[in-house]
Structure 1
Amino acid sequence: MTSRKWVRLFLTTLLLGGGLTLLVSFVVKSESYADVLNPFNFLELIGVILFFAGLGFIFSVISQMGFFAYLTVHQFGMGLFRSLWPGVQVFLIAFALFDLVYFRYRAADEGVSIWPYIWTAVALLAVGIIIAAIKAKETNKKAFIPALFFMVVVTAVEWVPALQADGLDYVWLMIIPLLTCNAYQLLLLHRLTGTPEKSVNEPAEQPPKINKQKKKNRKKNRRK
Protein backbone atom coordinates (compact mmCIF):
# COMPACT_ATOMS: atom_id res chain seq x y z
CA MET A 1 0.00 0.00 0.00
CA THR A 2 1.37 3.42 -0.95
CA SER A 3 1.61 6.27 1.53
CA ARG A 4 -1.08 8.15 -0.38
CA LYS A 5 -3.54 5.26 0.00
CA TRP A 6 -2.65 4.87 3.66
CA VAL A 7 -3.33 8.58 4.29
CA ARG A 8 -6.65 8.23 2.47
CA LEU A 9 -7.60 5.25 4.63
CA PHE A 10 -6.55 7.07 7.81
CA LEU A 11 -8.40 10.31 7.08
CA THR A 12 -11.62 8.75 5.81
CA THR A 13 -11.76 6.37 8.79
CA LEU A 14 -11.05 9.28 11.13
CA LEU A 15 -13.89 11.36 9.69
CA LEU A 16 -16.22 8.36 9.71
CA GLY A 17 -15.55 7.68 13.38
CA GLY A 18 -15.91 11.32 14.41
CA GLY A 19 -19.07 11.96 12.42
CA LEU A 20 -20.80 8.74 13.44
CA THR A 21 -19.99 9.20 17.14
CA LEU A 22 -21.42 12.71 16.96
CA LEU A 23 -24.65 11.40 15.43
CA VAL A 24 -24.96 8.60 17.98
CA SER A 25 -24.38 11.07 20.81
CA PHE A 26 -27.58 12.92 19.86
CA VAL A 27 -29.47 9.75 20.85
CA VAL A 28 -27.55 8.17 23.73
CA LYS A 29 -26.31 11.41 25.32
CA SER A 30 -29.30 13.63 24.59
CA GLU A 31 -29.24 15.04 28.13
CA SER A 32 -25.87 16.64 27.38
CA TYR A 33 -27.47 18.64 24.57
CA ALA A 34 -30.60 19.38 26.60
CA ASP A 35 -28.51 21.13 29.25
CA VAL A 36 -27.06 23.61 26.74
CA LEU A 37 -30.22 24.10 24.69
CA ASN A 38 -32.47 25.03 27.59
CA PRO A 39 -31.43 27.75 28.18
CA PHE A 40 -29.56 28.01 24.90
CA ASN A 41 -25.80 28.55 25.20
CA PHE A 42 -23.99 28.65 21.87
CA LEU A 43 -20.45 28.29 23.21
CA GLU A 44 -21.35 25.33 25.42
CA LEU A 45 -23.15 23.69 22.48
CA ILE A 46 -20.02 24.01 20.33
CA GLY A 47 -18.00 22.58 23.21
CA VAL A 48 -20.30 19.53 23.51
CA ILE A 49 -20.17 18.95 19.75
CA LEU A 50 -16.37 19.18 19.70
CA PHE A 51 -16.16 16.85 22.70
CA PHE A 52 -18.16 14.05 21.06
CA ALA A 53 -16.49 14.55 17.68
CA GLY A 54 -13.09 14.36 19.37
CA LEU A 55 -14.22 11.25 21.22
CA GLY A 56 -15.15 9.76 17.87
CA PHE A 57 -11.69 10.55 16.51
CA ILE A 58 -10.22 8.64 19.45
CA PHE A 59 -12.51 5.67 18.74
CA SER A 60 -11.38 5.80 15.11
CA VAL A 61 -7.70 5.79 16.06
CA ILE A 62 -8.33 2.82 18.38
CA SER A 63 -10.03 1.04 15.49
CA GLN A 64 -7.11 1.72 13.15
CA MET A 65 -4.56 0.58 15.72
CA GLY A 66 -6.54 -2.62 16.17
CA PHE A 67 -6.72 -3.14 12.41
CA PHE A 68 -2.97 -2.89 11.84
CA ALA A 69 -2.33 -5.02 14.94
CA TYR A 70 -4.69 -7.61 13.47
CA LEU A 71 -2.76 -7.65 10.18
CA THR A 72 0.46 -8.31 12.11
CA VAL A 73 -1.11 -11.02 14.30
CA HIS A 74 -2.66 -12.67 11.24
CA GLN A 75 0.70 -12.94 9.47
CA PHE A 76 2.33 -14.20 12.65
CA GLY A 77 -0.43 -16.77 13.18
CA MET A 78 -0.15 -18.12 9.63
CA GLY A 79 3.60 -18.52 10.07
CA LEU A 80 3.36 -20.16 13.50
CA PHE A 81 0.25 -22.35 13.27
CA ARG A 82 0.15 -22.81 9.45
CA SER A 83 -2.84 -25.03 8.58
CA LEU A 84 -4.08 -24.92 12.20
CA TRP A 85 -4.48 -21.13 12.17
CA PRO A 86 -8.15 -21.12 11.00
CA GLY A 87 -9.06 -23.49 13.85
CA VAL A 88 -7.17 -21.35 16.36
CA GLN A 89 -9.10 -18.29 15.18
CA VAL A 90 -12.44 -20.08 15.57
CA PHE A 91 -11.46 -21.03 19.14
CA LEU A 92 -10.50 -17.41 19.93
CA ILE A 93 -13.81 -16.17 18.47
CA ALA A 94 -15.74 -18.55 20.74
CA PHE A 95 -13.62 -17.56 23.74
CA ALA A 96 -14.16 -13.83 23.11
CA LEU A 97 -17.93 -14.30 22.85
CA PHE A 98 -17.91 -16.35 26.05
CA ASP A 99 -15.98 -13.56 27.82
CA LEU A 100 -18.50 -10.97 26.67
CA VAL A 101 -21.24 -12.92 28.39
CA TYR A 102 -19.70 -14.64 31.42
CA PHE A 103 -17.28 -12.07 32.82
CA ARG A 104 -19.59 -9.10 32.25
CA TYR A 105 -22.42 -11.01 33.93
CA ARG A 106 -20.23 -11.86 36.93
CA ALA A 107 -19.24 -8.20 37.31
CA ALA A 108 -22.88 -7.04 37.19
CA ASP A 109 -25.12 -6.49 40.18
CA GLU A 110 -26.97 -9.40 41.71
CA GLY A 111 -30.36 -10.15 40.24
CA VAL A 112 -29.49 -8.82 36.78
CA SER A 113 -30.65 -11.01 33.90
CA ILE A 114 -28.00 -12.70 31.78
CA TRP A 115 -29.99 -12.29 28.56
CA PRO A 116 -28.85 -8.74 27.69
CA TYR A 117 -25.25 -9.97 27.75
CA ILE A 118 -26.11 -12.97 25.60
CA TRP A 119 -27.93 -10.81 23.05
CA THR A 120 -24.97 -8.41 22.91
CA ALA A 121 -22.62 -11.28 22.01
CA VAL A 122 -25.11 -12.67 19.48
CA ALA A 123 -25.50 -9.25 17.83
CA LEU A 124 -21.72 -8.83 17.57
CA LEU A 125 -21.41 -12.30 16.04
CA ALA A 126 -24.23 -11.59 13.56
CA VAL A 127 -22.64 -8.35 12.38
CA GLY A 128 -19.28 -10.12 12.11
CA ILE A 129 -20.76 -12.91 9.98
CA ILE A 130 -22.38 -10.41 7.60
CA ILE A 131 -19.18 -8.40 7.11
CA ALA A 132 -17.05 -11.55 6.82
CA ALA A 133 -19.42 -12.97 4.19
CA ILE A 134 -19.13 -9.77 2.14
CA LYS A 135 -15.34 -9.87 2.46
CA ALA A 136 -15.20 -13.51 1.37
CA LYS A 137 -17.50 -12.83 -1.60
CA GLU A 138 -15.39 -9.91 -2.81
CA THR A 139 -12.01 -11.60 -2.29
CA ASN A 140 -11.55 -15.24 -1.39
CA LYS A 141 -13.55 -17.83 0.54
CA LYS A 142 -10.56 -18.36 2.82
CA ALA A 143 -10.94 -14.75 3.99
CA PHE A 144 -14.16 -15.52 5.90
CA ILE A 145 -12.63 -16.79 9.15
CA PRO A 146 -9.90 -14.08 9.41
CA ALA A 147 -12.51 -11.39 8.72
CA LEU A 148 -14.86 -12.85 11.34
CA PHE A 149 -11.95 -13.03 13.80
CA PHE A 150 -11.22 -9.35 13.25
CA MET A 151 -14.83 -8.24 13.53
CA VAL A 152 -15.48 -10.24 16.73
CA VAL A 153 -12.23 -10.65 18.67
CA VAL A 154 -10.49 -7.39 17.79
CA THR A 155 -13.69 -5.36 18.18
CA ALA A 156 -14.32 -6.95 21.60
CA VAL A 157 -10.78 -6.06 22.73
CA GLU A 158 -11.16 -2.47 21.48
CA TRP A 159 -14.53 -2.24 23.24
CA VAL A 160 -13.15 -3.09 26.71
CA PRO A 161 -12.77 0.55 27.97
CA ALA A 162 -16.46 1.28 27.36
CA LEU A 163 -17.53 -2.07 28.85
CA GLN A 164 -15.76 -1.15 32.09
CA ALA A 165 -17.55 2.21 32.37
CA ASP A 166 -20.66 2.69 34.47
CA GLY A 167 -23.92 2.73 32.54
CA LEU A 168 -24.72 1.82 28.95
CA ASP A 169 -24.27 5.27 27.38
CA TYR A 170 -20.63 4.87 26.44
CA VAL A 171 -21.10 1.19 25.61
CA TRP A 172 -23.37 2.12 22.69
CA LEU A 173 -21.53 5.34 21.97
CA MET A 174 -18.34 3.36 21.30
CA ILE A 175 -19.50 0.10 19.73
CA ILE A 176 -21.36 1.62 16.78
CA PRO A 177 -18.40 3.71 15.50
CA LEU A 178 -16.00 0.84 16.24
CA LEU A 179 -17.97 -1.70 14.24
CA THR A 180 -18.46 0.74 11.38
CA CYS A 181 -14.78 1.77 11.24
CA ASN A 182 -13.61 -1.84 11.47
CA ALA A 183 -15.96 -2.96 8.72
CA TYR A 184 -14.99 0.02 6.56
CA GLN A 185 -11.26 -0.71 6.84
CA LEU A 186 -11.71 -4.43 6.25
CA LEU A 187 -13.80 -3.97 3.12
CA LEU A 188 -11.69 -1.12 1.75
CA LEU A 189 -8.31 -2.83 2.16
CA HIS A 190 -8.49 -5.09 -0.91
CA ARG A 191 -9.75 -2.20 -3.00
CA LEU A 192 -6.74 -0.08 -2.06
CA THR A 193 -4.14 -2.81 -2.42
CA GLY A 194 -5.27 -4.11 -5.80
CA THR A 195 -7.72 -6.36 -7.61
CA PRO A 196 -9.60 -8.78 -5.36
CA GLU A 197 -8.22 -12.30 -5.33
CA LYS A 198 -10.06 -14.99 -7.26
CA SER A 199 -12.04 -17.60 -5.47
CA VAL A 200 -10.09 -20.73 -4.55
CA ASN A 201 -12.68 -22.78 -6.38
CA GLU A 202 -12.43 -20.74 -9.54
CA PRO A 203 -10.76 -22.79 -12.31
CA ALA A 204 -7.49 -21.54 -13.67
CA GLU A 205 -7.55 -19.78 -16.98
CA GLN A 206 -6.92 -22.06 -19.93
CA PRO A 207 -4.25 -21.09 -22.45
CA PRO A 208 -5.69 -19.69 -25.68
CA LYS A 209 -6.31 -22.29 -28.35
CA ILE A 210 -4.22 -21.95 -31.49
CA ASN A 211 -6.07 -22.23 -34.75
CA LYS A 212 -5.30 -25.48 -36.65
CA GLN A 213 -4.78 -23.58 -39.89
CA LYS A 214 -2.15 -21.39 -38.22
CA LYS A 215 -0.34 -24.54 -37.05
CA LYS A 216 -0.24 -25.88 -40.61
CA ASN A 217 1.09 -22.58 -41.95
CA ARG A 218 3.85 -22.59 -39.35
CA LYS A 219 4.88 -26.12 -40.33
CA LYS A 220 5.04 -25.13 -44.02
CA ASN A 221 7.19 -22.12 -43.23
CA ARG A 222 9.60 -24.29 -41.26
CA ARG A 223 9.96 -26.74 -44.20
CA LYS A 224 10.75 -23.87 -46.56
Structure 2
Amino acid sequence: MNLKSWLYLFWTSLVVGAAGSLVIGLILQWTDTVTLNGTADFFVNIAVLLGVGIMVSVYSQMGFFAYMMVNYMGTGVFSRRTWQYIQIVLTSLALLELMFFRVFVGGEQAGKSDMLLGIIILIVALVVASFKVKMTNASAWIPTVFFMIAVTIVETVGVLKIGVNEATAWIAGPLIACNAYQILILHRVLKPRTA
Protein backbone atom coordinates (compact mmCIF):
# COMPACT_ATOMS: atom_id res chain seq x y z
CA MET A 1 0.00 0.00 0.00
CA ASN A 2 1.42 3.35 -0.99
CA LEU A 3 0.88 6.67 0.75
CA LYS A 4 -1.79 7.84 -1.70
CA SER A 5 -3.84 4.68 -1.13
CA TRP A 6 -3.48 4.97 2.62
CA LEU A 7 -4.59 8.60 2.58
CA TYR A 8 -7.62 7.65 0.51
CA LEU A 9 -8.52 4.93 3.01
CA PHE A 10 -7.90 7.31 5.92
CA TRP A 11 -10.06 10.19 4.68
CA THR A 12 -12.91 8.06 3.40
CA SER A 13 -12.99 6.18 6.71
CA LEU A 14 -13.20 9.51 8.52
CA VAL A 15 -16.23 10.41 6.41
CA VAL A 16 -17.89 7.04 7.11
CA GLY A 17 -17.29 7.42 10.86
CA ALA A 18 -18.56 11.00 10.95
CA ALA A 19 -21.67 10.15 8.93
CA GLY A 20 -22.39 7.08 11.06
CA SER A 21 -22.04 9.02 14.30
CA LEU A 22 -24.21 11.83 12.99
CA VAL A 23 -27.02 9.50 11.92
CA ILE A 24 -26.99 7.37 15.07
CA GLY A 25 -26.55 10.39 17.34
CA LEU A 26 -29.50 12.20 15.77
CA ILE A 27 -31.68 9.07 15.97
CA LEU A 28 -30.78 8.60 19.64
CA GLN A 29 -31.53 12.25 20.37
CA TRP A 30 -34.78 12.15 18.44
CA THR A 31 -35.99 9.09 20.35
CA ASP A 32 -34.83 10.66 23.63
CA THR A 33 -36.64 13.92 22.79
CA VAL A 34 -33.64 16.15 23.43
CA THR A 35 -34.42 19.87 23.34
CA LEU A 36 -31.84 22.21 21.91
CA ASN A 37 -31.82 25.85 23.01
CA GLY A 38 -31.42 27.78 19.80
CA THR A 39 -29.41 27.61 16.62
CA ALA A 40 -26.03 27.66 18.37
CA ASP A 41 -26.90 24.51 20.33
CA PHE A 42 -27.96 22.80 17.12
CA PHE A 43 -24.64 23.51 15.37
CA VAL A 44 -22.57 22.64 18.45
CA ASN A 45 -24.48 19.37 18.70
CA ILE A 46 -23.76 18.56 15.03
CA ALA A 47 -20.07 19.40 15.54
CA VAL A 48 -19.88 17.13 18.59
CA LEU A 49 -21.55 14.25 16.73
CA LEU A 50 -19.18 14.64 13.77
CA GLY A 51 -16.15 14.94 16.06
CA VAL A 52 -17.02 11.76 17.94
CA GLY A 53 -17.50 9.96 14.61
CA ILE A 54 -14.07 11.09 13.45
CA MET A 55 -12.46 9.88 16.69
CA VAL A 56 -14.25 6.53 16.43
CA SER A 57 -13.03 6.25 12.84
CA VAL A 58 -9.43 6.79 13.89
CA TYR A 59 -9.85 4.18 16.62
CA SER A 60 -11.32 1.80 14.04
CA GLN A 61 -8.38 2.40 11.72
CA MET A 62 -5.92 1.60 14.49
CA GLY A 63 -7.77 -1.67 15.07
CA PHE A 64 -7.78 -2.38 11.34
CA PHE A 65 -4.04 -1.95 10.95
CA ALA A 66 -3.45 -3.95 14.14
CA TYR A 67 -5.58 -6.73 12.63
CA MET A 68 -3.57 -6.60 9.40
CA MET A 69 -0.34 -6.99 11.37
CA VAL A 70 -1.76 -9.89 13.41
CA ASN A 71 -3.03 -11.53 10.22
CA TYR A 72 0.36 -11.08 8.56
CA MET A 73 2.14 -12.62 11.54
CA GLY A 74 -0.44 -15.40 11.85
CA THR A 75 -0.01 -16.43 8.23
CA GLY A 76 3.76 -16.31 8.69
CA VAL A 77 3.85 -18.44 11.84
CA PHE A 78 1.06 -20.95 11.19
CA SER A 79 -0.02 -22.87 8.15
CA ARG A 80 -2.98 -21.43 6.28
CA ARG A 81 -5.45 -24.01 7.61
CA THR A 82 -4.18 -23.74 11.20
CA TRP A 83 -4.46 -19.95 11.09
CA GLN A 84 -8.06 -20.28 9.85
CA TYR A 85 -8.91 -22.59 12.76
CA ILE A 86 -7.30 -20.17 15.21
CA GLN A 87 -9.38 -17.32 13.77
CA ILE A 88 -12.58 -19.38 14.09
CA VAL A 89 -11.80 -20.21 17.73
CA LEU A 90 -10.94 -16.60 18.58
CA THR A 91 -14.11 -15.37 16.85
CA SER A 92 -16.23 -17.83 18.83
CA LEU A 93 -14.57 -16.84 22.10
CA ALA A 94 -15.13 -13.14 21.38
CA LEU A 95 -18.83 -13.74 20.72
CA LEU A 96 -19.15 -15.89 23.84
CA GLU A 97 -17.39 -13.21 25.88
CA LEU A 98 -19.76 -10.51 24.69
CA MET A 99 -23.00 -12.47 24.81
CA PHE A 100 -22.54 -14.79 27.80
CA PHE A 101 -19.32 -14.59 29.82
CA ARG A 102 -19.74 -10.91 30.77
CA VAL A 103 -23.12 -11.67 32.31
CA PHE A 104 -22.72 -15.16 33.78
CA VAL A 105 -19.05 -15.13 34.75
CA GLY A 106 -18.21 -11.46 35.15
CA GLY A 107 -21.47 -10.43 36.81
CA GLU A 108 -22.14 -7.56 34.37
CA GLN A 109 -25.69 -6.17 34.37
CA ALA A 110 -26.36 -5.55 30.66
CA GLY A 111 -27.33 -9.08 29.60
CA LYS A 112 -30.05 -8.37 27.02
CA SER A 113 -28.27 -5.42 25.43
CA ASP A 114 -25.00 -7.40 25.14
CA MET A 115 -26.91 -10.28 23.58
CA LEU A 116 -28.55 -7.89 21.10
CA LEU A 117 -25.21 -6.26 20.26
CA GLY A 118 -23.63 -9.69 19.71
CA ILE A 119 -26.45 -10.71 17.36
CA ILE A 120 -26.16 -7.44 15.42
CA ILE A 121 -22.39 -7.82 15.09
CA LEU A 122 -22.80 -11.45 13.97
CA ILE A 123 -25.41 -10.58 11.33
CA VAL A 124 -23.40 -7.64 10.01
CA ALA A 125 -20.25 -9.79 9.92
CA LEU A 126 -21.97 -12.51 7.88
CA VAL A 127 -23.43 -9.96 5.44
CA VAL A 128 -20.08 -8.15 5.05
CA ALA A 129 -18.24 -11.46 4.59
CA SER A 130 -20.67 -12.56 1.87
CA PHE A 131 -20.11 -9.27 0.01
CA LYS A 132 -16.34 -9.59 0.47
CA VAL A 133 -16.40 -13.13 -0.96
CA LYS A 134 -18.40 -11.91 -3.98
CA MET A 135 -15.92 -9.08 -4.55
CA THR A 136 -12.79 -11.20 -4.09
CA ASN A 137 -12.78 -14.97 -3.49
CA ALA A 138 -13.92 -17.61 -0.99
CA SER A 139 -10.71 -17.45 1.04
CA ALA A 140 -11.77 -14.01 2.33
CA TRP A 141 -14.69 -15.45 4.33
CA ILE A 142 -12.94 -16.44 7.58
CA PRO A 143 -10.62 -13.41 7.86
CA THR A 144 -13.54 -11.05 7.22
CA VAL A 145 -15.76 -12.72 9.82
CA PHE A 146 -12.86 -12.74 12.28
CA PHE A 147 -12.18 -9.04 11.77
CA MET A 148 -15.83 -8.01 11.86
CA ILE A 149 -16.59 -10.00 15.02
CA ALA A 150 -13.45 -10.41 17.11
CA VAL A 151 -11.79 -7.09 16.37
CA THR A 152 -15.05 -5.14 16.62
CA ILE A 153 -15.82 -6.70 20.00
CA VAL A 154 -12.32 -5.94 21.28
CA GLU A 155 -12.73 -2.34 20.11
CA THR A 156 -16.09 -1.96 21.89
CA VAL A 157 -14.93 -3.30 25.26
CA GLY A 158 -14.19 0.21 26.55
CA VAL A 159 -17.67 1.54 25.87
CA LEU A 160 -19.29 -1.67 27.14
CA LYS A 161 -17.72 -1.03 30.55
CA ILE A 162 -19.68 2.23 30.79
CA GLY A 163 -22.90 0.22 30.82
CA VAL A 164 -25.05 2.83 29.06
CA ASN A 165 -26.92 1.43 26.05
CA GLU A 166 -27.11 4.79 24.26
CA ALA A 167 -23.34 5.29 24.56
CA THR A 168 -22.75 1.77 23.29
CA ALA A 169 -24.99 2.38 20.27
CA TRP A 170 -23.39 5.76 19.58
CA ILE A 171 -19.88 4.27 19.51
CA ALA A 172 -20.55 0.75 18.20
CA GLY A 173 -22.62 1.92 15.21
CA PRO A 174 -19.94 4.06 13.55
CA LEU A 175 -17.29 1.53 14.60
CA ILE A 176 -19.10 -1.31 12.83
CA ALA A 177 -19.67 0.90 9.78
CA CYS A 178 -15.98 1.89 9.61
CA ASN A 179 -14.79 -1.70 10.07
CA ALA A 180 -17.16 -2.92 7.36
CA TYR A 181 -16.07 -0.16 5.00
CA GLN A 182 -12.36 -0.78 5.55
CA ILE A 183 -12.51 -4.55 5.05
CA LEU A 184 -14.71 -4.19 1.95
CA ILE A 185 -12.52 -1.53 0.31
CA LEU A 186 -9.15 -3.11 1.20
CA HIS A 187 -8.76 -5.18 -1.97
CA ARG A 188 -9.41 -2.11 -4.12
CA VAL A 189 -6.90 -0.03 -2.18
CA LEU A 190 -4.24 -2.74 -2.44
CA LYS A 191 -4.88 -3.49 -6.12
CA PRO A 192 -1.96 -2.18 -8.19
CA ARG A 193 -2.96 0.32 -10.82
CA THR A 194 -1.90 -0.42 -14.37
CA ALA A 195 -0.39 2.38 -16.37
Distance 1:48 1:31, change over 3 A: farther
TM-superposed deviation, 1:31: 7.7
Structure 2 residue aligned with 1:4: 4
| Gap regions ≥5 residues in structure 1 | 196-224
| 3-state secondary structure, aligned to 2:35 | helix
Do structure 1's residue 128 and structure 2's residue 130 form an aligned pair? no
TM-superposed deviation, 1:108: 3.1
Q: Larger Rg: 1 or 2?
A: 1
TM-superposed deviation, 1:44: 2.3
Q: Determine the C-alpha separation between the residues in 2 that align with 1:98 and 1:91.
A: 10
8 Å Cα contact 2:18/2:49 also seen in 1:
yes
Q: Determine the C-alpha separation between the residues in 2 that align with 1:59 and 1:135.
A: 23
Structure 2 residue aligned with 1:94: 92
The alignment covers a number of residue pairs equal to: 189
Do structure 1's residue 44 and structure 2's residue 20 form an aligned pair? no
* 1:25 aligned partner, one-letter code: G
| 3-state secondary structure, aligned to 1:58 | helix
TM-superposed deviation, 1:174: 1.2
Structure 2 residue aligned with 1:181: 178
8 Å Cα contact 2:102/2:108 also seen in 1:
yes
The more displaced of 157-166 and 7-16 is 157-166
| Gap regions ≥5 residues in structure 2 | none
Q: Could you report, residue by residue, the CA deviation over 1:173-217 in whole angstroms, capped at 9, with x for unpaired residues? A: 11111111111111111112217xxxxxxxxxxxxxxxxxxxxxx
8 Å Cα contact 1:93/1:149 also seen in 2:
yes
TM-superposed deviation, 1:47: 1.6
Q: Determine the C-alpha separation between the residues in 1 that align with 2:4 and 2:33.
A: 38
Which structure exhibits the higher relative contact order, with contacts defined as CA atoms closer than 8 Å and separated by 6 or more residues? 2
8 Å Cα contact 1:32/1:48 also seen in 2:
no
TM-superposed deviation, 1:104: 3.0
Q: Normalization by structure 1: what TM-score?
A: 0.78
The runs of 4+ residues in structure 1 deviating greater than 6 Å are none
Q: Determine the C-alpha separation between the residues in 1 that align with 2:133 and 2:31.
A: 42
TM-superposed deviation, 1:115: 4.5
| 3-state secondary structure, aligned to 1:159 | helix
Identical columns (%) = 33
Q: Determine the C-alpha separation between the residues in 2 that align with 1:34 and 1:180.
A: 25
Q: Normalization by structure 2: what TM-score?
A: 0.89
Distance 1:45 1:119, change over 3 A: closer
CA root-mean-square deviation: 1.9
Q: Determine the C-alpha separation between the residues in 2 that align with 1:104 and 1:49.
A: 34
TM-superposed deviation, 1:116: 4.2
Do structure 1's residue 78 and structure 2's residue 83 form an aligned pair? no
8 Å Cα contact 1:21/1:55 also seen in 2:
yes
Do structure 1's residue 118 and structure 2's residue 137 form an aligned pair? no
8 Å Cα contact 1:33/1:45 also seen in 2:
no
1:145 to 139, 142, 145: 142
Structure 2 residue aligned with 1:155: 152
* 1:151 aligned partner, one-letter code: M
Distance 1:115 1:54, change over 3 A: closer
8 Å Cα contact 2:113/2:165 also seen in 1:
no
Q: Determine the C-alpha separation between the residues in 1 that align with 2:164 and 2:112.
A: 17
Structure 1 residue aligned with 2:34: 34
Structure 1 residue aligned with 2:13: 13
Structure 2 residue aligned with 1:169: 166
